[in-house]
Amino acid sequence: MTQNAPFFTPDRSQYPAKKADGTLDIDIASGKYLKLWQGPNHPGITGNMSVELTVCGDEVVEGKTHVGYLHRGFEKLMERRTFIQCFPIVCRICVPEPDFNEYCYAAAVEELAGIKSPERADWIRALILEMGRINSYMMYLGGQAGALGLGVIGQWTTYARDLMLDRFEELTGARIYHMFIMPGGVRDGLPEGFDKRMEETLREVESTLKDVYDVMFCNAVFKKRTVGVGYIDPALVDSYGITGPNARAAGVAKDVRKDQPYLIYSQLDFEPVLGQDSDIFTRADVRRRDVLVSVDLVRQILAKMPRTGPLMATVPNVLHWKIPRGETYIRGECSRGEYGYYLVTDGSGYPRRVNVRGPSYTHAVSLLERMIVNLNISDVASLMVSLHTYPPEIER
Amino acid sequence: MKDELKIRVVKGPDGVEFEVEPLKDYYCEAAPTVMPAAYIKVVEDLFNWARSESIWILGFGTGCGAIEMRPLMTPRFDAYRFGVQWRPTPRQANLFVISGYLSTKTLKRAIRSYEQMQNPKYVIGLGSCTINGGMYWDSYNTIKRLDDYLPVDLYIAGCMPRPEALLAGFQDMKKLIRAGKAEGANLYAENFEWYKANQKRVIHDWDMPDYNW
Amino acid sequence: MPFDWMKIPYSLLTLFIVVNYGFFLNALIQKMGARAGRRYGIPIWQNYVDMIKNYGLRSSITHGAMFYLGPVFRLSGGVGLLLFVPTIYGSYMFSNLSFAGDLILALYFIFFGTLGMALGAGESGHPHAAIGVSRGLAQVSTAELPFALAVFAVALQYQTLSVTEIVAAQQGGFLQWTLFTNPLAVAAAMLGFLGSMMRPPFDVVIAPQEIPIGPPTEYHSAYLALMQTNRAIFPIAKIVIYMNLFFGGASDWPTFFFKVFLIYLWSAFVGVVFPRFRVEQSIRWFLIWAVPLGILSIILV
Amino acid sequence: MRELHTKLKSLFPVGDLTEQRSNLGFVTVPQEHLRAVLVHLRDREGFTHLVLLTAVDWLEAGQFQLTYLLSNRTAGKDLGVRVMLARDGATMQSIHDVWPTAATYQRELREMFGIDFPGSPRLHEEFILEGWNDIPPYRRDFDTLKYAQENYSERPGRVTHDPAAHMKQKLNSGGN
């Protein structure tokens, strides 16, 4: 615990004693504790996962995350698909922001196959990733407010997200799963008049954000519920593998777009959004400001991107595409943190192993289990949303 | 006193026999009963109309299709106009939207949730993965045919189906209910043994009562 | 005094009007919430359909005797509250059984339904219901406190416990209303009113994201339909009390509809734009803001 | 990268460096030195972030490859530390006390590959699968299609084309 925040010190006097093997000495039969399952069929859970809470009064003494409800075995399925057959299924791993799967997979394949995607494709990729980021954050803001009973925010932000999905639709032809970033480039260029409609959408997003700021962030009750709750110590950031806004809200400037610029991010002008005292409120605020950064980035990309040039690099016949033995790791900064693909090839036409590193993997399991202790039951849902966890990227 | 409320000895899923007092313990292993339309046609028609105009969906996002539920609740699509609402508890829900692939782990929870819903209850299978496995046709962890495990009234195809498709699906569901054809709960009760056998074949650690209300 | 048997059909008529108005108002308030979210919202008759559907479900499950009685208690709380206060002041037809009841009885009825519900929901054995009940009782107690204080202030002010006489004292221009003769009591009572309407920021009892959906978790089919009926009656009955005590009552139906609507709107308006308090926060809020106002109003009287 | 590798080489018996990019390299470390290397990298070289821990099944060689991917944010460098394990009775020392998050990865690896990490917390609890009764599914010798066909009933009418043959037929059939 830091010096400047003494009121975050938890009271552990009621806490059960630890047994020799490190587990807690909880005797359910004593009637002092209650097992409470939050999820998977529970509106306060982020997606299809569950938390097994042991509560004492209103206070959580132990929380265990249970995942695996969405396990489809992607990493196994990809081992028996050719490189191009993997491309349509990767985006199914993560629903709110599927484009990062496509980008990371495409970039990993390109790197191992020695292909360089054309510059114009890189710009369009970055555009899509930023649009997806705005979508994902809009979903988050609605969820965060909804977890505290402020449903109206969810209505507004989902409407703005729907507008952004319209732009996706005219660019890629699909609402959720775009399948646009292929190994080698992108499928298509921007349609006619896209910039103008994009600008209108961005204005709508900004005005929604202004309403959200007025109703949510200036709201006394919202502040009362979130300030000082769910604090992340900056010292935990590295040991728990915290990335993205969760880390940035703690004051650690972890942003892959700045640290290891990929695509064309080195040509764009932006600063990672930082916060202090990573409680639920700060994390929500960091994400709100991050949307503004993304809105600005989309404008910059549209202003700077080349309008002519190839969209696809020359790719060998995808039916007989063999990639020599190698391994690589490609990462990108998605709205929840560092998203990465670890790809191993063995010279055949199929990947040897694909491993997806989703940011929720660390956030929702080890970090959540630590943070949930000593929390009020009422705050569990709000905390889970504020970590922006998303279960499919944990279990794939 | 009803038979089902009397004290009796039951055999748990782990093979241990124990005594259950239904008024105190919450345990049920009785098979579901077929509940035919009990009233005269006019009343039953009125009820069917009410059932069709007031569809309460169980808010259980079992797969990726759940992401299109949010737009349905919000300004662009607004399913509340059509009497469709979301309820957080299975007791009060009438329609279970299986939103996408079901892993065996989720299937177990889905079965429990379904059985806790009240008769009449309906199931909509969303997405091609509930129809024939879809993208996950060779996956070791997802079921390929939803109607083997739960009585499905309606499938909505697509990966994933758009909200418009869902709205159209709800309208079709309404027509089914109004015509009195959506009797999934009775179908489930009639073919209970068959459904249970199918379910137990894919859920390897069956550690719950065979049927929980 | 011989009992006037004609009172009974007239009371039932009042009940009928109030039930329908309650359904209408509930739907209207839901629609307003939807409009704040830029939605069209539910059809205005949706609540009727929901209720018919719930009565029409084929199966229902019991969890014991109290589980049956919970919604019944709750409904009788709402109906009783309505029957023992004059709905329309000065009207023979719609003053119900108000000659028999007084304020203390009304206060009792307000709490009666909650307690019955607590027993019934506790019987259901669902942990969410149990948590909801404990939260609900704690919060309703503190929310009733400022209201009770305000009621005592009003009773002291008019030197009577009869609702009819209190309304009678407020006739003759709106400056005679308690709202203007004793604003502190009204303020305290209106803050308490927020707490008992189960809308944000004080809806932690039924918070869907935490304990879906609190006490009624296990209730379904006909039980739920009973509770829905009560949900139409109870708020209106409570508002009638408020209207009679603080806003001069209503001497005809249009005034009644208008005043009830405005008072209902107050809680809905607050509810749309606020998230919910945790239970200990809301208790603290009532103790800090509402209770001192109530005490002050008694002292000033 | 090269300097780091030279430095590591002087301290530990590490293998050669595979330089994938200028900021990403992979080295192989003997199993018994892994912990020392990781702690050294974390405390001395600034590789404080464990990005991922995963395994690759080299069935033909009878080996598991464990990859510990570390990241040094300030220098913008990533280093993958590889450990080769014998595939039969694969056991590895746990590093959950070095990085608490590693416990989760190790749970997954035990479940999906059957690699044992003695001492890791909650290792034997089910993580993703439930009631699994076959060999760990991520092993190469596990055939997911066969398992799916044996366990799940399929809806008739599903056709699978061989992509190459299908394309050939499509291209030759009408030229469009």
- The predicted complex's ipTM stands at 0.85
Query: Which of A11, A36, A144, A148 is best to mutate for the C interface (most C CBs within 10 A)?
Result: A148
Higher pLDDT, B208 or A93: A93
- As a whole number, mean pLDDT of residues C208-226 equals 78
Interface contact A76-D138, CB threshold 8 A: yes
What's the whole-number average pLDDT of chain A? 84
- At B201, list the tokens: 């074949």
Q: How many domains does chain C have?
A: 1
Question: Does A53 have pLDDT greater than 70?
Answer: yes
Q: What are the structural domains of chain A?
A: 83-360 (1.10.645.10)
Higher pLDDT, C221 or A383: A383
Q: What is the percent of chain A where pLDDT is above 90? A: 10
Interface contact B139-D130, CB threshold 8 A: no
- Chains touching chain A through at least 3 C-beta pairs below 8 angstroms are B, C, D
- Residues in D touching B133 (Cβ below 8 Å): 148, 152, 154-155, 158
Question: Does A1 have pLDDT greater than 50?
Answer: no
- pLDDT recorded at residue A8: 45
- pLDDT recorded at residue B25: 55
- Chains touching chain D through at least 3 C-beta pairs below 8 angstroms are A, B
- Residues in D touching B137 (Cβ below 8 Å): 148, 154, 158
* CB proximity A155 to B under 8 Å: yes
Interface contact D130-B145, CB threshold 8 A: no
What's the whole-number average pLDDT of chain C? 79
Give D153 to chain B, closest Cα distance, Å: 7
Question: Does D27 have pLDDT greater than 60?
Answer: yes
d(CA D110, CA D90): 10
Give A367 to chain D, closest Cα distance, Å: 8
Q: Please tell me what DSSP assigns to residue C1.
A: -
Question: Does D41 have pLDDT greater than 70?
Answer: yes
For residue B135, give the 3-state DSSP assignment.
Answer: helix
- Residues in A touching D49 (Cβ below 8 Å): 238, 241, 243
- As a whole number, mean pLDDT of residues C28-52 equals 83
Counting DSSP H helices and E strands in chain D, the numbers are 5, 5
Which CB contacts under 8 angstroms, 24+ apart, belong to D102-111?
A: D102/D50, D102/D53, D103/A366, D104/A361, D104/A362, D104/A365, D104/A366, D105/A361, D105/D52, D105/D53, D105/D54, D106/D53, D109/D53, D109/D54, D109/D55, D109/D66, D111/D136
Give A255 to chain D, closest Cα distance, Å: 9
Cα A82 to chain centroid, rounded? 27
| CATH label, D2-154, candidates 3.30.1360.120, 3.40.250.10, 3.30.460.80, 3.40.718.10 | 3.30.460.80
- pLDDT recorded at residue A295: 92
Query: Which of C210, C217, C282, C286 is best to mutate for the A interface (most A CBs within 10 A)?
Result: C210
Strands B55-58 and B84-87: parallel
Indicate the residue of A154, A158, A176 with minimum beta-carbon distance to B160. Answer: A176
Are A288 and A317 a contacting pair, CB within 8 Å?
no
Interface contact A154-B90, CB threshold 8 A: no
What's the whole-number average pLDDT of chain D? 85
Indicate the residue of A68, A82, A327 with minimum beta-carbon distance to D26. Answer: A327
Give B160 to chain A, closest Cα distance, Å: 8
| Chains C and B in direct contact, meaning 3 or more beta-carbon pairs closer than 8 angstroms | yes
Interface contact D140-A240, CB threshold 8 A: no
Give D25 to chain A, closest Cα distance, Å: 9
- pLDDT recorded at residue B212: 67
- pLDDT recorded at residue A202: 92
| Chains B and A in direct contact, meaning 3 or more beta-carbon pairs closer than 8 angstroms | yes
- Residues making up chain B, counted from first to last: 213
- As a whole number, mean pLDDT of residues C194-216 equals 75
- Chains touching chain C through at least 3 C-beta pairs below 8 angstroms are A, B
Question: Does D173 have pLDDT greater than 70?
Answer: no
Query: Which of D152, D153, D158, D161 is best to mutate for the B interface (most B CBs within 10 A)?
Result: D152
What does the domain layout of chain B look like in residue ranges?
Answer: 1-30, 41-202
The region of weakest confidence among A87-96, A107-116, A372-381, C208-217 is C208-217
* CB proximity A176 to B under 8 Å: yes
Give D104 to chain A, closest Cα distance, Å: 7
- Residues making up chain C, counted from first to last: 301
* Most confident segment among A351-355, A371-375, B44-48: A351-355
Regions of chain B short of the pLDDT cut 50: none
Give the chain B residue whose CA is nearest to the CA of C38.
Answer: B75
* CB proximity B74 to C under 8 Å: yes
Residue type, C155: A
Give A291 to chain C, closest Cα distance, Å: 21
Question: Does C101 have pLDDT greater than 70?
Answer: no
Give C29 to chain A, closest Cα distance, Å: 14
Residues A297-331 have pLDDT tens digits of 999 999 988 888 888 888 888 788 888 888 899 98
- pLDDT recorded at residue D16: 82
* CB proximity A14 to D under 8 Å: no
Confidence label for C50 from pLDDT (cuts 50, 70 and 90): confident
Q: Is residue C35 included in any domain, yes or no?
A: yes
- Residues in A touching B136 (Cβ below 8 Å): 72, 77
Give A139 to chain B, closest Cα distance, Å: 9
Contacts of C114 (CB under 8 A, 6+ apart): C74, C77, C136, C137, C140
Question: Does D175 have pLDDT greater than 60?
Answer: no
Interface contact C37-A151, CB threshold 8 A: yes
pTM for the whole thing? 0.87
Contacts of A268 (CB under 8 A, 6+ apart): A126, A297, A300, A301, A304
d(CA C219, CA C71): 9
First-to-last CA distance in chain C?
Answer: 34
Residues D153-165 have pLDDT tens digits of 888 887 878 877 8
- As a whole number, mean pLDDT of residues C36-43 equals 82
Confidence label for A291 from pLDDT (cuts 50, 70 and 90): very high
Closest CA to D49 of D124, D91, D101: D101
Query: Which of B102, B103, B208 is best to mutate for the A interface (most A CBs within 10 A)?
Result: B103
Indicate the residue of C38, C40, C212 with minimum beta-carbon distance to B81. Answer: C40
- pLDDT recorded at residue A3: 39
Size of interface A-B (CB pairs under 8 A): 88
Question: Does D169 have pLDDT greater than 70?
Answer: yes
Q: Which helix or strand (DSSP H or E) is residue D71 part of?
A: strand D63-72
Are A12 and A374 a contacting pair, CB within 8 Å?
yes
d(CA A388, CA B177): 39
Q: Which helix or strand (DSSP H or E) is residue B111 part of?
A: helix B104-116
CATH architecture label of B41-202: 3-Layer(aba) Sandwich (3.40)
- As a whole number, mean pLDDT of residues A165-176 equals 88
Confidence label for D133 from pLDDT (cuts 50, 70 and 90): confident
Question: Does A6 have pLDDT greater than 50?
Answer: no
Interface contact B91-C219, CB threshold 8 A: yes
| Chains C and D in direct contact, meaning 3 or more beta-carbon pairs closer than 8 angstroms | no
d(CA C217, CA C219): 6
- Residues in C touching B46 (Cβ below 8 Å): 52, 56
* CB proximity A169 to B under 8 Å: no
- Residues in D touching B204 (Cβ below 8 Å): 130-133
d(CA A97, CA A393): 11
- Give how far Cα B39 sits from Cα of C58, C224, C296, Å: 11, 21, 60
- Residues in B touching C231 (Cβ below 8 Å): none
Question: Does C208 have pLDDT greater than 80?
Answer: no
